[in-house]
Each structure stands twice: as structure tokens, then as C-alpha cells.
Amino acid sequence: MTAKETTSVEAGAVSVPYGHVIGNEKWRGSQIARGLQGKIKLILEDGLGFVDFHLSNRSCILYISEADLVAGNGFKRRLVRFRNASSLHGIVIVEKTQISDQYFPAVQKFIVLELGMTLLPVANQGEASQLIIQLVHEQSKDHTSNPFLHKKCSQLAEASILRTVQQIPGVGKTKALLLLQQFVSIHQLCNASVQDLELVVGQTIAQQIHAFFTQTK
Amino acid sequence: TPISAGLLERKASLCILVDSREISSGSEIISSLKAVHGVKVQVCSLGGCDYIVSNRMAVERRTQSELLNSMNRNRVTQRIQHLQSMFERICVIVEKDRIKAGETSRLFQRTKYYDAMLSALIRAGIRILFSSCQEESAHLLKDLVLVEQRKNVAICVPTEVKGAKEEALRFYLSIPNISYLAALNMCHGFASVKKMVNSSPKDIATGAQVSQQKAEEIYRYIHSGFDLQMLPEKLHAKGKSNT
């Protein structure tokens, strides 16, 4: 039984066409299915095991209703078995209503902190369908359209290096520039002898800089 | 038994860094962390980060209404991008808005923008937790500290620095994309600034408790050559006029 469910989880996972959702047959005629209509292509299939909706080849949704929460710990077993059987990223959508609200903190702790899964609360199936639409859109979008995925191009180091050198007590912008023109990098500056430093900034500051780099307490 | 005594000891050392801005906007979180959860709270200027719960994780606290429309889009995304440049892991706590005096209850109208924002965060591997009030946020923060402690990445250096160490901390903090905690770890992990500057990437990773990749980034920065021609005009000109 477990083995069969395992394979069905994996099998469904590899065949989600772009912009589609593969849903568990049990959702036929539901408010979620109706909410998705016309927005994204929903294919309903049997044998998805624990999964309610496959969003892509990598992620899927497990839905926990208000009734599931009130009924006890059955949903926990389902989530744990999914976690053990599948390498998919599981997004758990939980119905957080006036009735199930009291269970939410414990459920969140279990799902996010103990199982390391993602949890998103919704008030009802209508909200769930709207959320699923956005999740699917995000999955089918280009990487670069997600502001949290594209790498910021690194700034020029020069301004930072100047700022770092100015953190040395007694060194302002003018002295920092003089030092960097002489010693080129923070590494070289740090390894300069007092005599070397004196040639650039004078005795007192040279000693102060040297002390800053070498003091151990 | 010695085991439970050890556990108690570890639990007692739970530590969290809180940005000084949270004193006004999250006062109940701070007092709840201290009084209810017995967490050691160190308030300091974290520079663009609300909470640090471990060597690798920052926590950003946002109210639900801030994520409902694009009005705050730039501010929110820039904050999180900034955290991404410094931390391996980021968690966003989405907190329910407070009911202000005079308001009966605020109805939460879910928007497409809100769902899209959550979707984008999830795809980027950012964790999201939901909280109904500041007390609950405090609870979540403590839980995060505990989870991170279990994974051996808890904050374990003294969080207050004085004298020469404080000067060194300021110096380390000016390294680009370094977290407050990595800088703090450096203060304690290296006997002197010179020792740190002369370290290999591997030693930097150990001393600062950062990833190998981050350590290499720091190493490159320390060794990178300063080219006056590449300095932005503004800084350049000012420096010249003084000589």
C-alpha cells in the first residue's frame, strides 16, 4: 500500500504540463475546482496518493480542511507519510477559520518547524483556489521576474574598501585615500610595518593604526 | 540526571539579537521573549534586519497589511534582498495588524498581490510563519531559536563587545554583505584584526561561522586591490581637494 502510494506520488510528479495543475479526483465539483476554472488548466486524476494538487514537477499541495483539523491527528500521519515517501516540496494549505483558529499555532509549529514544510493559511476553498492560481503563475514564470531569485550585481568594491579603512580609529577619508594609494588592499595595509605607515600618515597615527590591527584584547 | 541538567543549561543560553527599531514597533515581543520565554535579548543596531536567531538565520517581521498591496513593494523587496545578501536562511513572520483604538475589527481582504508575494517568497526558499499578535510572534521567534540550536548553529558568542573589540566590530561590519552576527563572531573568533585579515577562506568560515562561499567572498574583498579611478566621482573629488 505504502509502496503504491509512493510510486503514485512520484509518477504524478513528473508529468505536470506547464501552467497546469494536476488535481486529485476527489476535488471534482469542489469550490476549488470551480475557482480554478478558466484561470488555469486543471486535470483531475486518480491515484495521487497523499497529494491534492501537483503544481509542477517539484512542488505539490496538501490540503487540510477545517474538518481535518477538528477531527484530530489524522492529518499529521498523512503529512509525515508524505514527507517520508516524497522528495517533492510540499506546500500545505490549511483552512484557518474561527473554528480551527485555536489549532493553528500548534499545526504551524508541527508543519513548518518540525517537518520543514511550507504552510499557507486560507479562510475557505475560494481563497485556496485564488492562492493556487498565484502559486502556479509563479512556478511558470521566468526566474528573473522573481525579485528574490535574481542575483544583485555586485557593486564596485572601491567605495566599500574606503569605508572599511575609515573604520580604523584616527583615519578619516583623506588619510584612508592616502593609505590605499600606497598599500592598495586591506590585506597589504594590515601587514604594513609602523615604519611603512609613518611614510604616509605620520608617527602618531601610524602607531595607532598598527595597534588597531595587532591588539589582542 | 546529568543529561537533563545539560539540557536545562543549554535552554538557559537561548539568545536572540533584536534590532533597536523593534523597541518601538515590537515592544511586546521583546518583553515577552524576556519574561515569558526566558530568552536572552540583545538589542543592537542590526542595520536592516529585525531579528537574528542563529549564525545563519535572520527573521523579518511584516504586518499583513504591508503585503496586501504594491504600495510597500520596493521597501519590502529591498529589505529581503538585503537579508539574502547576508544570510543563508531567511524567515518572514507575517503578523496580523493590530486593531487600533476606535476600530472594531479589521477585516482581512486577501488580494491577488498578497498571494503572488507569498508565492514569490516560497519559490525563493524563504520561510514564512503567520502570527496573530506580538505575543505569538515572540513564541515563534523562541521556537526558531530552539530549532536552530538543535542544528548547532545557535548564537554562542558574547553579544556585548567593549573597547578594542568594539572598534574591531565596526571594522568588520563595514565588509560588504556581512551580517552583524558574522562580524560579532569574528571579534571573538580571531585574536586580532591582523589574524583575521591574514586568514584563509577556510579559517574565515570557521572564525565567522559563515558558509565557505561567504568566506571566499570576504577573503576576496580583503585582498582586492583599490583603484582610485574606480572610486565614485563624489568620494574621489572630495579626497583630492584635501591633499
pLDDT of B123 above 80: yes
- Residues in Cβ contact with A72 at an 8 Å cutoff, skipping those fewer than 6 apart: none
Inter-chain CB proximity B226 and A181 less than 8 Å: yes
Q: Do B128 and A214 touch (CB under 8 A)?
A: no
Q: Does domain A157-214 have CATH number 1.10.150.20?
A: yes
Q: What's the pLDDT tens digit per position in A43-97?
A: 999 988 899 999 988 899 999 999 999 998 999 999 999 999 999 999 999 999 9
Express each pLDDT in B180-227 by its tens digit. 999 999 999 999 999 999 999 999 999 999 999 999 999 999 999 998
- What pLDDT is recorded for position B163? 87
Contacts of A166 in chain B (CB under 8 A): 174
Query: What pLDDT was estimated at residue A8?
Result: 44
pLDDT score for B1: 41
Asked if the C-beta of B68 comes within 8 angstroms of chain A's C-beta atoms, the answer is no
pLDDT digits (tens, 9 = 90+) for B60-118: 999 999 999 999 899 999 999 999 999 999 999 999 998 777 776 667 789 999 999 99
Determine, for residues A212 and B193 on separate chains, whether the beta-carbon distance falls below 8 Å. Answer: yes
pLDDT tens for each residue of A115-135: 999 999 999 999 999 999 999
**Predicted confidence band at A14 (pLDDT cuts at 50, 70, 90)?**
low
Identify the sign of the CA torsion A135, A139, A140, A145: positive
Look at phi and psi of residue B87 and say left if phi exceeds 0, alpha if psi is from -120 to 50, else beta: beta
Structure confidence at residue B105 (pLDDT): 65
B225 — contact with chain A (CB < 8 Å)?
Answer: yes
Binning pLDDT at 50, 70 and 90, where does residue A166 land? very high
Chain A residues closer than 8 Å to B123 by CB: 138-139, 146, 148-149
Q: What is the 3-state secondary structure (H, E, C) of chain B?
A: CHHHHHHHHHHHCCEEEEECCHHHHCHHHHHHHHHCCCCEEEEECCCCCCEECCCCEEEEEEEHHHHCCHHHHHHHHHHHHHHHHHCCEEEEEEECCCCCCCCCCCCCCCCHHHHHHHHHHHHCCCEEEEECCHHHHHHHHHHHHHHHHHCCCCCCCCCCCCCHHHHHHHHHHCCCCCCHHHHHHHHHHCCCHHHHHCCCHHHHHHHHCCCHHHHHHHHHHHHCCCCHHHCCHHHHHHHHHCC
Radius of gyration in angstroms for the set of CA atoms belonging to chain B, rounded to a whole number: 20
For chain A, domain boundaries: 20-140, 157-214
pLDDT, residue A139, reads 86
For chain A, what is the mean pLDDT? 90
Query: What is the distance in angstroms between the Cα of A210 and the nearest Cα belonging to chain B?
Result: 9
In chain A, what residues touch B121 (CB-CB under 8 Å)?
A: 148
- Residues A93, A122: contact at Cβ < 8 Å? yes
* Alpha-carbon distance A17 to nearest alpha carbon in chain B (angstroms): 18
Decide if A158 and B191 are in contact by the 8 Å CB cutoff: no
What pLDDT shows up at residue B232? 80
Confidence at residue B2, expressed as pLDDT on a 0 to 100 scale: 47
Interface contact flag, B243 A178, Cβ < 8 Å: yes
The more confident residue out of A10 and A106 is A106
CB contact under 8 A, A137 and B119: yes
Cα separation of B64 and B136, whole Å? 14
Q: Is B237 on the interface with A (CB under 8 A)?
A: no
The complex's ipTM works out to 0.90
Pick one of 1.10.1370.10, 3.40.50.10130, 3.40.50.150, 3.40.50.460 as the CATH number of A20-140.
3.40.50.10130
Beta carbons of B110 and A123 less than 8 Å apart: yes
Q: Look up residue B189 and give its three cell numbers.
A: 573568533
Residues 6+ apart with CB under 8 A from A146: A138, B120, B123, B124
Rg (CA), chain A: 29
Q: Which of chain B's residues have a Cβ under 8 Å away from the Cβ of A104?
A: 130
**Rounded distance, CA A111 to CA B85, Å?**
27
pLDDT of res. A153:
62
Task: Count Cβ neighbours within 10 Å for each residue of A68-89 and write b for 16 or more, e otherwise.
Answer: bbeeeeebbeebebbbebbebe
A118/B128 touch (CB, cutoff 8 Å), yes or no: yes
